[in-house]
Amino acid sequence: MAALDGLPTLRDVITRHGLDARKALGQNFLLDLNLTQKVARTAGNLEGATVFEVGPGPGGLTRAILALGARKVIAVERDPRCLPALAEIADHYPGRLEVIEGDALKTDFESLVPDDGPVKIIANLPYNVGTQLLVNWLLPNRWPPFWQSLTLMFQKEVGQRITAVEGDNHYGRLGVLCGWRTEAQRAFDVPPEAFTPPPKVTSSVVHLVPRAAPIACDPQKLEKVTQAAFGQRRKMLRQSVKSLGGEALLNRAGIDPARRAETLSVEEFCRLAAEI
């Protein structure tokens, strides 16, 4: 049976194009178009938006984004086997899907930004490169960034680290970076059996919007303090940040040296970063 957008079912696409999933490319495909629509809808209204997608694969999420009215999708896919399947979608939506064959980690997304309209990033990310891509998008040359929102599928555990705040078990370097520059929410979880093939763990869709005016802070210094503090997360800060100035540094920042990394707010980490 054909899918609602008039294109063949994703199972049919995968069979016809021989897209057996490759583990090395983090290929766990979403074949349920209701679910891909739910992911795309998490990004809010797509009318008039340009969407950057990483790893469209056979195109399930791409189709949902286009069906929901995105003006254009620019998708970066590393696996050349997927290109003929994506060309069928491009034919179905003339002028609205551009596919770039390549490695998203080496792609200069900022150079692809159109002259007008918002850019949203939506992706069911390959697990091996997802966190690095997120960090790259959080540390562009200028802020506010070129994107209006990030709607991304991660392993649930990574989603928990992205959205963690002080006091949470999952709070760490990633939570501080995300909390500093964005408001991040875990939108919903997706069980392994929703994917083909199923991964070992549950996944989560995370939605991040940039803070208009994050606390002024040098990202490299912030990285240094969080690396030291969370590198020895069970120790008191006077010990864990010893190499950066220890007790004297903490006193300058007005932070009790007997505290531990996981109790510090983003604002306190920024204060520490300003003192090194």
* Footprint of ligand SAM (CB under 6 A): 25-30, 54-57, 60-61, 76-79, 82, 103-105, 124, 126, 129
Report in angstroms how near the CB of residue 111 gets to ligand SAM at its nearest: 16
Nearer to ligand SAM, 98 or 166 (CB): 98
Residue 69 is assigned to a ligand binding site:
no
Residue 275 is assigned to a ligand binding site:
no
Report in angstroms how near the CB of residue 254 gets to ligand SAM at its nearest: 43
Report in angstroms how near the CB of residue 155 gets to ligand SAM at its nearest: 11
Beta pairing class for 72-77 and 97-101: parallel
Q: Peptide bond preceding 144: is omega within 30 degrees of 0, i.e. cis?
A: yes
Residue 103 is assigned to a ligand binding site:
yes
Mapping DSSP to helix (H, G, I), strand (E, B) and coil, where does residue 217 land?
A: coil
- Cα–Cα distance, 197 to 191 (Å, whole number): 12
Residue 124 is assigned to a ligand binding site:
yes
Report in angstroms how near the CB of residue 115 gets to ligand SAM at its nearest: 25
Report in angstroms how near the CB of residue 182 gets to ligand SAM at its nearest: 22
Full strand arrangement of the beta sheet holding 182-190: 97-101, 72-77, 50-54, 119-124, 149-155, 203-210, 182-190
Nearer to ligand SAM, 203 or 240 (CB): 203
| Contact (CB, 8 A) for 105 and 129 | yes
Nearer to ligand SAM, 25 or 274 (CB): 25
Please give the residue whose beta carbon sits closest to ligand SAM in the complex. 55
Mapping DSSP to helix (H, G, I), strand (E, B) and coil, where does residue 34 land?
A: helix
Please work out, in degrees rounded to the nearest 5, the angle formed at the alpha carbon of residue 153 by the alpha carbons of 151 and 154.
130
Nearer to ligand SAM, 82 or 205 (CB): 82
Residue 44 is assigned to a ligand binding site:
no
Cβ contacts of 6 within 8 Å, gap of 6 or more: 92
The binding site comprises: 28, 30, 55, 77, 103, 124
